[in-house]
Amino acid sequence: MKFMILQGENRRIAFKTYNAYGRFIHHLYEFLLGAAARERGDDATLTAQMAEQYIAGYAGRALIARREAILNGTAPSWENHISYFPETIPPEFAREFRTFRNVVSGHVSGERVSLNLSDFYDRNHKLLGILFRHAGSHWGKIGDDFPDLKEITAFTVMVRENGVEPSMAT
């Protein structure tokens, strides 16, 4: 966001910012579905209702943990005041999260340009932040070595051996 402000707003930066946040929504949602599969011990596709129930439950537990850490004094010093956080997650949070995950990342439907990501951000970003930080205990770096991700690692090796440097810039 700071880059966007310093560089001046334009349509290209707006598009990239929207897409970056859309990827964040998409990947966080997919991570949570993977966590649900791990908890269940299978990777069967969840129905929309089951996914929403899981995400609502996980978000509720993460919110309670965050609030309890603030109230009992174990939260980090940089943590927001308790008044920043709602007491419960909004009933529509998991449904909205799923809807935005389905539309904002990579879809070219007309629905994408009419779906109000700004309102979603205002209503839900603090909850997405809680989910992201809470999930860090599951995926955070342990030790100095990054794991070998098999074909993901092999692809990058192949690209570099062919003289092409992968680039994140677009």
pLDDT for the residue numbered 170? 43
Cβ–Cβ under 8 Å, residues 96 and 123: yes
**pLDDT for 110:** 66
Number of domains comprising the chain: 1
pLDDT 10s digits, 66-104: 999 999 999 999 999 999 999 999 999 999 999 989 888
What are the helix (H) ranges across 9-114?
11-40, 48-71, 93-103, 110-114
Residue 129 lies in a domain: yes
Q: Which residue in 126, 59, 132, 61 sits closest to 95, CA to CA?
A: 59
Please classify residue 95 by burial: count the beta carbons closer than 10 Å to its beta carbon, then call 0-12 exposed, 13-18 middle and 19+ buried.
middle
> Is the whole model's pTM more than 0.75, yes or no?
yes
In which domain, by residue range, is 70 found? 2-107+114-140
Quick check: is 69 in a domain? yes
* Cα-based distances in Å from 49 to 11, 36, 53, 54, 165: 36, 13, 6, 9, 42
Cβ neighbours for 51, distance < 8 A, ≥ 6 positions apart: 33, 36, 94, 98
The pLDDT assigned to 116 comes to 86
Query: What is the pLDDT at residue 168?
Result: 47
Predicted confidence at residue 169, as pLDDT, reads 42
Predicted confidence at residue 7, as pLDDT, reads 62
> Which residue ranges of the chain lie beneath pLDDT 50?
168-170
pLDDT at position 35: 87
